[in-house]
Amino acid sequence: MSDLVNHRAIREKARDAYLTFRAALREDVAASIAADGTPPDYLMGHSGTRVTIPQEKLDGCKVLSNRKDIIRQMPSAGEVIEVGTQAGLFAEFILNLLPSISLRTIDVDYGPFRFDLLQPFINEGRLTTITGYSWEELSKFPDQHFEWIYIDASHIYEHVRKDLEVAKQKVKVGGYIVCNDYAVWSPLEGDPYGVMQAVNEFVFAENFKVSHLALDGWGYHDIALRRLS
């Protein structure tokens, strides 16, 4: 019972702090927009202006119900890499779904990784784990090496930009870059995400087209980009 009482006290304290924060935030956002037409950097996770993907790069995009459905429409054989894996549960899904692919994962910390579940794939030679910063390790592969690349590493705007800048060279022409957490805000963490801004800028500037969009009930959407040339 004491744990329940303590949890209620923590929740009430957090609620009061949130309401105070929200009032101050609304005031600051209004002042910032009145001053220069943009919201504060700390709220958006970047300092860039809003970028909209051109309609011609959205034509033909398939809208799906979840990110697993995107994977079901990816090439089912060849070399694939997951950039950011955490516990490796999505890697396990990919490997079970697509028995003809060879998967590599990159992460800075394999402490949470479920080797108990994934060791059989390592033993088979279908899974290779790589430790390091995503953009640095990804850059070590030959150009046009991967059928598709799944990016779910840092959500900081500058880091997503680095991942995309390298990934565009490492994916084959006709292949895909899939970005997880295509959003501007994480409701479960209370943090800004720079993924949407980085992706929109990338699609606007590069010869990629949006092929799939998977909607998530919490707003953590996935977006797939196909390399055209």
Query: How does pLDDT run across 83-137, given as a tens digit for each residue?
Result: 999 999 999 999 999 999 999 999 999 999 999 999 999 999 999 999 999 999 9
Question: What does the alpha-carbon distance between residue 192 and residue 183 come to, in Å, rounded to a whole number?
Answer: 9
If we measure between CA atoms, which residue out of 168, 225, 224, 161 comes closest to residue 193? 161
Burial class (CB in 10 A: 0-12, 13-18, 19+), 188: exposed
Q: What stretches of 65-114 show up as alpha helix (H) in DSSP?
A: 67-72, 89-97
Q: What is the pLDDT of residue 55?
A: 97
- 7-63 per-position pLDDT tens digit: 888 889 988 888 888 888 889 888 888 998 888 888 888 888 889 999 999 999 999
- pLDDT band of residue 147 (cuts 50, 70, 90) is very high
Lowest-pLDDT choice from 38-47, 139-148, 166-175, 199-208: 38-47
Q: Answer yes or no: are the C-beta atoms of 171 and 177 closer than 8 Å.
A: yes
Q: Residue 177 in 3-state DSSP?
A: strand
201 and 48 Cβ atoms separated by less than 8 Å? yes
Computed over every residue of the chain, the mean pLDDT equals: 94
**Structure confidence at residue 4 as a pLDDT band (50, 70, 90):** confident
| pLDDT of amino acid 1 | 56
Check pLDDT > 90 for residue 5.
no
Residue written as token pair 């609620």: 15
Determine the pLDDT at residue 51. Answer: 93
For residue 2, what pLDDT band results from cuts at 50, 70 and 90? confident
